[in-house]
Structures are given as C-alpha cells and as structure tokens.
Amino acid sequence: MQEYISQLNPEQADAVLGSEGPSMVLAGAGSGKTRVLTYRIAHLIANGVSPFNILALTFTNKAAKEMRERIEKIVGPNARNIWMGTFHSVFSRILRKEHEKLNYPSNFTIYDTADTKSLIKTIIKELELDDKIYKPSVVLHRISSAKNNLISADKYFNDEQIRQEDKMTAKPRLAEVYKAYQNRMMKASAMDFDDLLFKTNILLRDHPDVLLKYQHMFKYILVDEYQDTNYSQYIIVKKLAAANRNICVVGDDAQSIYSFRGADIGNILSFQKDYPEAQLFKLEQNYRSSKNIVNAANNIIANNKDQIQKTVWTSNGEGEKIKIVKTSTDNEEGNFVAKNIFSQKMNLQAPNNDFAILYRTNAQSRSIEEALRKQNIPYKIYGGLSFYQRKEIKDLLAYFRLSLNQDDEEALKRVINFPGRGIGKTTIDNIIIAANNHGTSLWNIISSPNKYPGIGTATITKLAGFVDMISSFSKQAPLINAYELGQQIASVSGISKEYFSDKTPEGISKYENIQELLNGLKQFSALEEDHDGEVRQTLEKFMSEIALLTDHDNDSEEDKNKVSLMTIHAAKGLEFNHVYIVGLEENLFPSQMAMQSRTELEEERRLFYVALTRAKNTIHLTYAQSRFRYGNIIYSEASRFIDELNDELIEKEENKPRVRTHTETEFTPPKPVIKSSFVKLSSVVPSGGGKSASTLDLQEGNEVEHGRFGKGKIISIEGNDSNKKAMIDFEKHGKKQLLLKFAQLKVIN
C-alpha cells in the first residue's frame, strides 16, 4: 500500500505524510501538485481515516473526477465515499440535506446564467427601468459581487455607501432590483450559483448545530487552487476547519489570476496568519519545462512584492532560449506565428497539438486565425468560439448580410429586434406566419405591413424605421468601401453602443471583438487600388472572403490534433511543447486597465508567469509595432515584461516580411492605415517622374504632385523613419494622409 510514497521526491513525500494540523502546499508550476493532493488523500484513507470524514474541494469537475479515479486505483472503491467535488456541487448537496433550515424545498431549482438573466430582464421591465442603463448582464455582475462578499439584499439596500456608488453609475435603484430578484428566486424555490455559497454561509452562521455537525463530519479538509478562492469560499472553509484544524490548502500565489471573478490572493498570502502553527511545504522542482523557461519565469515573478518566496528549479536540460520577435503589424505577427509553426512542424515532425498560441484578449485571435487558415494549419479555439462564430460577431455579420440581401431570412430574424427596438416576439411570429401564408419573404411583409393583419400601428412605425435603415445601408453598399459601410452599420444599428455600454469583463470583451471585426474591414479596404475611381473593396467582396474563411469548420479532422488558441486565463492548468505568446505590448499586455495600481499590475505579471510556465520546450514572445484597435492604428512599445527578462535567456529577432507587389490580392494587407483618408498606394510608379517621398527632404508648406491625386500642399509631417507620414491637401481629392515610404511624390515648390 505504501509503495506510492517511493514515487515522490522528498518535498512531495513530506507534504503527503504531514497530514495532521493545518498545512499549506505551495506548489510551483509543473511541480506535481495534483499527485501530492491525490496521494495525501489516499494516505489518509490507507491509515484508517474514513472517506466520509474527508472533504476535498476543487474548482472543476474534471479535477475532482481525475483525483477520485487516481485515489480509487490506490485504495479501492472506498474512495467513492469521499466528499469530493467543486465548491458548488458539494455545498448544493449540503443545502439539499439542510433545506428546511432555510425554508427551501429539498428539490430547489438551480438557475443557470440564462435563467438569471431572463429573470433580471423581467424585473427591470416590471420596475419600468431603462434596460439600456440597467443592462441585465451589468446588474447580474453587481449582484454576484455582492453575494460573493456576503452582502445580502437587505444589507445592500440599507448600506448608504453602496447606494452612493450605484448613484454615481446612474443606477440608483439597483438595490430594488437585487431585493426583487431575491424575492422572486425564493418564490420560485430557486438558487443561482452564487446562492449556493451565500446560502451555505447563512446556514453555518445562523444554525450552530448544523455547523457543529459538519465540523465533526469533515475531520480533514483539502482545498485545491486555494489562490482562486473568493471571500465567500474562504469563510465557509475557515468555519468548517475551526474545530479540528486539519486543513490542507494547495496552490500557488504566483498563479493567482482571477480577481475579476472575485478571487482574493490575500487568502493564500494570509494563510499562515490564520493558522500560525501551519506547516509550509514548498514544491519547487519543476518537471515540465526547460531550465531557460523556468529561469525566465523566476525572473518575471521576482518583480512582484506580494508573494510567498520560493525558488522554482528543474533538472531538465537547458533548452532553447526564449525567442522575442518584433513585427511591424498585428497581421505580420499572425503571419510569422503561422509560418513558424509550419516550419517547426516540418523540422520536428511534430503534431499540431504540440503548439499553443496564447493571447491577452479574445479579439486578438482574428489575425492569428486568418494566418493559420492560409497555411492550412488546423486549429481550435479553447475555452471560446472561433472569432467569426462569436455571438456579437454573428450579430454584426447578420446586419452585413441583410444589407446585401434583404431576402436573407435568418439574418433578418437575428437582428430585427437586436439591439432592442420594441418589436416583440408576437409581432415576429405574426410576420413569419404572414410570409408563409402569402408565399413571400419576411422583408416583403415588413416593407408593407399595412397589407397584412396582426401587426399593430405602433409596431408598424418601428418596422418602418428598421426597413428604412436597412434600405439605406443597401443603397450605399456599392458606393462606399467595406470599412466605411461597416462602421456606419455598427454605429447606426446600435450594435457598437449596445456592447460599449456593458462594462462587465464579458461586455468589454464583446466590444473589443466588434472593434476587431471593424479593424479587419479597415485593413481589407486598404487594399483598394482603384485607378479609375471605382470602389473595389466593397462589403459584398469582404463577405465573400469571410464565407470562405468560416467554411473551414466543416473539416473532419479530429479535434485532438489541432493547434490550440486561447486566452492565457483559459490556458491555466494546461501544458504544451511549444508556446507562442502574442501581443506583448504596453497597454495590451499588461492591459491598460491594469495600470491603476501596483496590485493590478502584479496580477498582470502573474498572468505572464502563467503563460510562460505552460511551455515545456520552446517559447516565442511576439509583439507588433502597430496594431489596429478600436478602428485606429495604435503604435506600440514592447511590453515591460520583455525588459524584465534576463538577457542571457533570450534571443531577439525582427520579422522581415517579403515585399509585396501591387498585383497581389491576399486578404491581409501589407500595412494598416490610420483612418479612412489614409490610402495604401499602388507600387506602380506614377507619371511625372515621382520619387519615393522618403528620399526627399520634405517640409510643411511644400507643394507636391502625386501621379494619382494630382497637385497638393503638405499640411503636416509626423513620425520617424519608416513610419513617417504626411497630411497633404490635394486640390481635387481633399486631404489624404500618406505613408512616405510608399508615396511617390514630385516637389514642385
């Protein structure tokens, strides 16, 4: 039975055998934490502890299932009696047992996010609140935060400071919504996910007999990923462990990255204050990564002040140095990554699933996805949808489709009342019935609603506004380029405003994705080479390109052998042979939103630490000098995190893409543009003997001649070297901003 101890290193063995009293296992990345947790539980059972007296809490069902299976292999089927699972699953089990104490039936319903949002929507409507201000997702996030901090609806309502905060965000009646929400949940005999923890706290607080019962039952408590616990979870665990004090927490403060979900790094940092007699076991040997990677991760995390000191090391080989690659644009960054993966695959004969591409925000996946598709490299989006399959993207694309083809019924049904314009489900159902009865399209029905029964006068006015809007888009489609029309559709339809006003992490991510789609349109439009004034890069052409891109999902290859794309948050707990971390730029990674305090910046640094420690063999860090964000080109500096790496551990290189000619028509343009007036010029030398403007000593006020735009006057010059650009007021074409290294100009005065 005891031979499993021989499989452990000395530090791991100590952590397994030191089972009495409080203890913290500080487990560095790749140090075998799951094995230690598993063997510690197995050791308890092997030494006579009843599995009924063991409580093991995890954050994922997968982790719980894996540990239970491993324990069962050691101690047999007795392991099935361990109280093991996620916080929510374990405490919902307790709540069903103790339901009478909380005036709930034992079969209470657990509402998922969709259920709770629907109920919030109903309450907002009943209270006659503006749902554009009281957005259900925002309200739900606020209520969730309150519950995780053990603030009840009554306490929320009576707390003057909280009420003032709500007033400052123009939501003075949020307390009413919270109170109504909880009343309706109670009436429906329902709990949401946050309630499972919140109600457990109430149960243990208000019923000492219940608390005593479970303290006696759970003689040994083990918590995985302790650095990810929130206040509500912390209090439950502390109360349950108070009697026996046989609590073992396992985690790594250096991997605390979920504060936006309520996780509090203070829980693990203060564990030894809570339990002064606690044993501390440090698992510092990394079995996953090369020496260079481990040392780089140590380099980074050493810059944080809020941490428990440890020195992670490995006996693995030196490995390759970390490659730092500078590119000109985000598109070039994507192309570099895709081509490098292709090259690595060929050289190493490595499968696709050896490779992972990690990014700070979901919106960054677009340029990466396009580049991978061009190289015919199969990939999967881990923990999220493919860029063009995300709801917010499909919403905007549906507007594009409908603007180009009014008979596209699926697109019409998707957007006719999104964002909300007061066209209800009953009206939509009547429109569909009328179309079916008369054998015509939905568009024909809504274009002439007076001809068909069942549609009220007020709704007819709203339908007319929608029809006029789509018709306007349709008329402009052949006249303006894809970006100008796309931007207009996003603005006039209300899509941009809808997602911009949602300040939750999910809402911000969706807005960023919308902006990234518009960035793609802008870059696509920059390929314009219309020598005769004809608009070549139309929305219709863009949608044809997109249709080809999204068709890729129908491949039959097993999902297991694909390159993984994911946010760094989604990558936690995973490992890959080869990792690419993209977008290492100031204000992107670290995020601009994390610059407000040292605490926030340190979490960003921990996020980078997590990214580095996903890799076994090689790491490429990439950054772009310019990147499209929110419809504009952003010139970027390399992330401070790159500067924090020891020079001995890195190799810097600059990606130098080949020069493209004007005959090439790939979807991704060679260079982005600043704004709609900034035109990427053809490489055709204009008549008049113009020279590359970068070779000329140009000054503000110079009169110049351009082969395409004719005569003009330089208004301003900005930038340096290859990024130097000039604003020129042309007599016949107005103001244009030109990148001088491409512009062919002749100075006439």
Catalytic machinery residues: 33-34, 224-225, 255, 614
Query: How distant, in Å, are the alpha carbons of 179, 642, 679, 683 from that of 712?
Result: 65, 43, 15, 20
Identify the H or E element spanning 474. helix 457-476
Instruction: Confirm if 197 and 144 have CB atoms less than 8 A apart.
Output: no
Instruction: Confirm if 748 and 704 have CB atoms less than 8 A apart.
Output: yes
Looking at the chain, how many residues does it have? 749
Which residues, in sequence order, are bridge partners of residue 55? Answer: 83, 221
Inter-axis angle of helices 505-525 and 539-550, to 10 degrees? Answer: 120
Inter-axis angle of helices 330-348 and 365-374, to 10 degrees? Answer: 50
Instruction: Confirm if 29 and 288 have CB atoms less than 8 A apart.
Output: yes
- Secondary structure class of 283 (helix, strand, coil): strand
Helix/strand/coil percent split, the chain, to 5:
50, 15, 35
* Sequence-ordered list of residues with C-beta below 8 angstroms from that of 101, at least 6 positions apart, any chain: 203, 206, 207, 210
- Please state, in angstroms and rounded to a whole number, the distance separating the CA atoms of residues 594 and 535: 42
Q: Which of 224, 286, 292 is nearest to 29 (CA)?
A: 286
Instruction: Confirm if 95 and 113 have CB atoms less than 8 A apart.
Output: no
Q: Which of 490, 494, 546, 541 is nearest to 513 (CA)?
A: 490
Instruction: Confirm if 103 and 164 have CB atoms less than 8 A apart.
Output: no
Instruction: Confirm if 716 and 700 have CB atoms less than 8 A apart.
Output: yes
- Please state, in angstroms and rounded to a whole number, the distance separating the CA atoms of residues 256 and 226: 9
Which residues, in sequence order, are bridge partners of residue 222? Answer: 56, 248
